[in-house]
Amino acid sequence: MALLQCSFHSEVLGMATRATVILPDPVRHPAPVRQRHGGGTPVLYLLHGMGDDDSAWTRRTSIERHVEAYDLAVVMPGVDRSYYTDQAVGHDYWTFVSEELPALVTAWFRVSDAPSDTFVAGLSMGGYGAFKWALRRPGSIAAAASLSGGLDATARHASPEWRATFGSRERAREHGDDLLALARSMADAPSPPLLQWCGTEDPNLEENRRFRDGALAAGLPLEYDEGPGGHEWSCWDAQIRRVLDWLPLRTRP
């Protein structure tokens, strides 16, 4: 396997940014096999939480070891404290992550650009970003997973940082940043499969349950689970293994 630290300029953000990338072992998962059976390597966009950066998943979990058995690239972008949002005052992080970054990744690496080979997952703020990707661009990915997601972030106390990000609750709804409103709007509409987990001692538990109830009422294909644990890396390290097993990776002889 290869672990790459990428620094590059984003035209959307108008500044330099970073991403950490894991590429599969070419001996264990030879490229000629992939090319004969559907093109490039499937890719998982793995999103960090509030206060972390692109290195968090590799520093705090065993993601590199967990993904070793899979023919799967993992791309972990850095988005500061943006909530994966085109901010009211700031930068267009949603456009960067969901549009510019995949285009750059498929240009730089031998990864598939097919929606059936593209997945997104994240923890906390990254869980919000993953489900926003699934609900706003459902045809661009094959599955999305949220671990302890901040899924009702637009209903939180309007601090100065919150206002700079979302502007107002009305703006958040209008710009597709309110996930519960998005879920309601998706009733009977096609959606990729969703996997949601939260710890029973996690401060985000109640908003996870609110999203679960709204998504199920809208008929979204959501698999929900909760279990012992708080807002902590030991839980996420265990649950990302479940996410990897759950992803609908195509069988490649």
Which pLDDT score, from 0 to 100, does residue 125 have? 98
The pLDDT of residue 35: 52
Give the pLDDT score at 93: 98
State in Å, rounded, how far the first CA of the chain is from the last one: 20
Pairing, β 15-23 against β 73-77: antiparallel
pLDDT, residue 109, reads 96
Task: Report domain extents, the chain.
Answer: 2-246
Query: What are the φ and ψ backbone dihedral angles of 3, each rounded to 5 degrees?
Result: -115, 115
Q: Which CATH number fits domain 2-246: 3.30.70.890, 1.10.260.40, 3.40.50.970, 3.40.50.1820?
A: 3.40.50.1820
Query: What pLDDT shows up at residue 36?
Result: 39
CB 132 within 8 A of CB 182: yes
Closest CA to 240 of 127, 151, 142, 159: 127
Tell me, what's the pLDDT at 26? 83
Q: Is 83 exposed, middle or buried (0-12, 13-18, 19+ CB in 10 A)?
A: buried
pLDDT of residue 219: 95
Q: Which residues of the chain have pLDDT under 70?
A: 31-38, 251-253
- Taking the CA atoms of residue 55, residue 142, residue 193 and residue 61 in that order, the dihedral angle to the nearest 10 degrees is -20
The pLDDT assigned to 252 comes to 46
